[in-house]
Structure 1
Amino acid sequence: MHHAPRPAVRRHEVSPRAAPRDDPRHRRARAGRGRLLARELPPLTTDGRSLIDAARKVVPQIRAAADEIEARRELPRSLFEAMADAGLFHMAIPRAVGGSEIDLPTYVLVIEEIGKADASTGWCLNQGAIFGTYAARMPRAVARTIWVDVPRAVVANTPAATAKAIVVPGGYRVTGPPGGQGFSTGCRHAAWVAAHAQVIENGQVRMEGNLPEARYFFVPVAEAKLLDTWHTRGMRGTGTHHFTVNDVFVPTERTVPSQTAPLIEDAPLYRIPRTLLFASGDAAVAFGMARTCLETFGELAGAKTPRAMQGLLRDQAMTQMTIGQAEAALRSGRAFLLEAVREIWAASMNSAITLDHRANLRLATTHGIRLAAQIIDSIYNLAGATAAYEDHLLQRHFQDIHVITQHLQGRLTHYELIGRYALGLKIDEARL
């Protein structure tokens, strides 16, 4: 059996056989990308531009740490600290609390920049930053004790309210299920975990209307036990482990209803449903990955001659057609996302968000994630055996994107949801 030769191109390296970066072909391609981007970017505020600049400054450090992120299944402490010190994890925290209160169109661009460098890092940033919007639903002094008074504070959460919080004088005693609470992205660099629990009072589940009352309980990470459960083929570096808490006291002020907390800081960012904020960042990560895969493949295609074929990979008609289609798909999907984000942001600034805005952004984000997966699949198929090695960026992103598509925000059932809405049928509006 003949084995494919071990490839010369790895991750972000450029083979000596590839066309030099000052080749006219590269200059034309870069100029073309710049012209398109100049037309589609929204006007940036000074704060927004500084955050994009901050993201770009940490990109080399992220890329240099990519193998370590993958191997350790977490962000290296030095990288996390650099990102935190740049204010990236506090982008979505209210200004009145001490954050940047970023606009959503700029936020998407920041997350995309980080996603281009490393998918897991982009995912960690999106999860940590958007959970910070709960600061807009807490008294300012309390929010500051969580996100500001603790240096480089990030809160790792868990989606399902599987813990129990028993009412006691001054607060609650919180205990999680035996197997812990799962999907807690970034818990190893977090200062707090947000246990998600139903409230128990006098031996009964306390009700909020017709539903059990569910709250987030902010627990110092030292008072929780972090479990080693995130063993996956993709998105390894997110460190999305389980954690458990056992009879931990949490004062009343350090809790917040997970679904029904009223806004205290009534600003445009916080009027947009949190699920759509998460989704916007997830789609931005996916598009960032797709762009990096296209650029990485371009380097490979200029260096590789496929076995039993004449000429370089880039000279093959199938390669040219597939890359043309991938470029069209990426640009159109990304444009749809940016359009939907700008529309809901404009509506939110006027307190006029409608179901149409929410449905449009739900469709743009789900479709963006699914489209990015198709783009990365097509590039992976073109790359051949070269992309089979686990240290190759195309292999890593192939695995990463197929974990992202399994996430709630990438569910195929969202297409059905939007289809029902478009046809005037009854829907669960909470999913928009």
Structure 2
Amino acid sequence: MNIAISVKEQALIDAAEKLQPELEQRSGEIDKLRQLPQDLADKLAQLGFYRLVVPENLGGLGVSPEAFCKICETLAMANGSTGWCVFIGATSQYLFGALPTTQLETMLQNPNVITSGVFADMGTALFEEQHGQPGYRINGHWRWGSGCRNAEWISGGVHEVSADGQRITDGEPLTRIFFKPEEIDIHDNWHVSGLRGSGSSDYIADNVWVSADRLSGNVEDTLQAAQPIYQFPKFSLLGIPIGAICLGMARASVEEVIRVSKEKTPQGSRRTLALRPSLHIDLAEADTALNAAKALFYQTIQQGWHAAQSAPGSLQERRAMRTSTVHAVNVSIQVIDKMYSVMGGTSVFETSCLQQHFRDVHVASQHMMVGEPIMELAGRVMLGLDDEAFGL
């Protein structure tokens, strides 16, 4: 049984669609800045896009993973970097459910707070009191900090260590620290081929002391754990927006070829490109492949969300979502590459969205959540060789 998109969720998807003309018009500006313009990030925040997956009782909009992905997909049709920043910003608020109330209240003084973060455990936390207040001395270097230059709070994965630097495994684990931007050093190193506007710079914390309430534990260990979004597999939620973003860029590429091929007459020909039989075949094959990948992708998400209404995601549900996401990314790459190729020299100009989607999709595909090891793990699960793959 599928859970239908609600009226509220459809309104958010429609709001993303209304942004498409502006995003298309400002794509060059976004790339040149190598981050989202702050006014655009603020507009996304006011629409609620950074708090999509946060439960309503924690100040969020509480949308389903399917609706979340459709919003990212819709934004990415116009600009992949924008969809990417919403993906990272929204999932960085996932652990609001595990934050101490004092810190959450501080952050939500701005209901439309912009956040970013790196989930990977790249930092250490050493317990240290200051003036009788419990806290932690944080050191770390986080890479791929998408959206960090727009954010009011920036998070990073950490683990607790002892005074001699040894990892502490006893007791409740620490998972994430929330920084103010002025507490860390954001490096200007995001000089890349694709997703240029995502602002995915490295950032470093050098002996930064923070109060203990700035750190979250595992949301699975809190009173919020029974909420469906926290029953939904965590690492699936962190991966599926990548598939959605790639699907959006691929669909936009097909639509671009349909539009431009009716206007373009190739050199040495008297007929428009749209009259070539080979293009007819290429378009039909691309459309079919894309529709099939998208159908499987959303089907597995719907099944996972239905199950999450009453129980944590199962191993098979996790496997299905992760593999359908990888499949969606791979099919999107194939479609975009083909559309880029059939348009010839037109594709290389900045006036064509094809060159941007071509660059962006190949950078998106390098994310570890959609890497080749996912399929290897999936095969191990299918063979009964691994019953703990893909996390929770």
TM-score of the superposition, structure 1-length normalised? Answer: 0.84
State how far apart, in whole Å, the 2-side matches of 1:67 and 1:253 are. 40
Separation in 1, partners of 2:206, 2:118: 16
Q: Which residues in structure 2 correspond to 1:126-275 (within 5 Å)?
A: 126-146=87-107, 148-150=108-110, 152-169=112-129, 170-176=134-140, 180-208=141-169, 215-257=175-217, 262-265=221-224, 266-275=226-235
1:55 corresponds to which residue?
16
Offset at residue 310 of structure 1 (A): 4.5
1:116 matched to 2:77? The reply is yes
Q: Please give the secondary structure, in 1, of the residue aligned with 2:118.
A: coil
Structure-2 change in CA distance of 1:42 and 1:316 (3 Å): farther
Which of 285, 288, 304 is the matching residue for 1:325? 285
Query: Cα 1:269–1:213, aligned 2, differ >3 Å: closer, same or farther?
Result: closer
Which residue of 1 is the match for residue 302 of structure 2? 342
| Counterpart residue type for residue 173 of structure 1 | R
**Among 288, 294, 308, the residue aligned to 2:254:** 294
Is 1:283 the counterpart of 2:240 in the alignment? Answer: no
- Contact between 1:302 and 1:312, CA under 8 Å: does it hold in 2? yes
Q: Is the 8 A contact 2:119 2:157 kept in 1?
A: yes
Contact 1:61 1:79 in 2 (8 A): no
Instruction: Provide structure 2 residue ranges, at least 5 long, that are not aligned to the other structure.
Output: none
Structure 1 window deviating more from structure 2 (112-121 vs 410-419): it is 410-419
What is the rounded CA distance, in whole Å, between the counterparts of 2:303 and 2:361 in structure 1? 27
1:100 aligns with 2:61: yes
Q: How far does residue 311 in structure 1 lie from its aligned partner after superposition?
A: 1.6
CA distance in 2 between counterparts of 1:94 and 1:42 reads 17
8 Å contact kept, 1:130–1:274: no
Which amino acid in the other structure matches residue 272 of structure 2? L
| Residue in 2 that maps onto 1:24 | none
How many residues of Structure 1 are paired with residues of Structure 2 in the alignment? 386
CA offset digits 1:166-187 (Å, max 9, x no partner): 21111012123xxx42111000
Q: Kindly provide the amino acid, as one letter, of the partner of residue 362 in structure 2.
A: H
1:284 maps to a residue whose letter is: A
**How has the CA–CA distance of structure 1 residues 298 and 42 changed in structure 2, closer, same or farther, with 3 Å as cutoff?**
farther
Q: Are the equivalent residues in 2 in contact too, given 1:302–1:314 (CA < 8 A)?
A: yes
Kindly indicate whether the alpha-carbon contact (under 8 Å) linking 1:217 and 1:256 is maintained by their aligned counterparts in 2.
Answer: yes
Distance 1:386 1:272 in 2: 43
- C-alpha deviations, 1:135-161, integer Å up to 9, x for none? 122244432322x11363222212443
Matches within 5 A, 1:11-26: none
Q: State the Cα distance separating 1:226 from its structure 2 match.
A: 1.3
CA distance in 2 between counterparts of 1:394 and 1:131 reads 30
Pairing of 1:339-378 with structure 2 (within 5 A): 339-351=299-311, 353-378=313-338
Q: What do you get for the CA RMSD once the two structures are aligned? A: 2.1
8 Å CA contact retained: 2:235, 2:390: no
310 and 412 in structure 1: CA distance in 2 versus 1, 3 angstrom threshold: farther
Q: Which moved more, 1:331-340 or 1:214-223?
A: 214-223
Q: Report the counterpart of residue 27 of structure 1 in structure 2.
A: none
> SS state of the match for residue 59, structure 1?
helix
For 1:338 and 1:158, the matched residues in 2 are separated by 25
Q: Is 1:305 the counterpart of 2:269 in the alignment?
A: no
Aligned partner of 1:95: which letter?
E
SS at match of 1:424: coil
TM-superposition CA deviations, 1:72-110 (whole Å, max 9, x none): 011111111111011111111121121111112222211
Give the AA of the match of 1:230.
W
Aligned AA (1:396): Q
- Whose Rg is larger? 1
Moved runs in structure 1, 4+ residues, more than 6 A?
Answer: none
Q: How far apart in 1 are the matches of 2:255 and 2:391?
A: 35
Partner residue of 1:69? 30
Taking the aligned partners of 1:187 and 1:356, their CA distance within structure 2 comes to 34
* Equivalent position to 2:6, from 35, 45, 49: 45
- One-letter amino acid of the counterpart of residue 121, structure 1: T
Q: CA deviation at 1:249?
A: 1.5
Q: Give secondary structure in 2 for the equivalent of 1:106.
A: helix
Tell me which amino acid in the other structure corresponds to 2:211. Answer: P
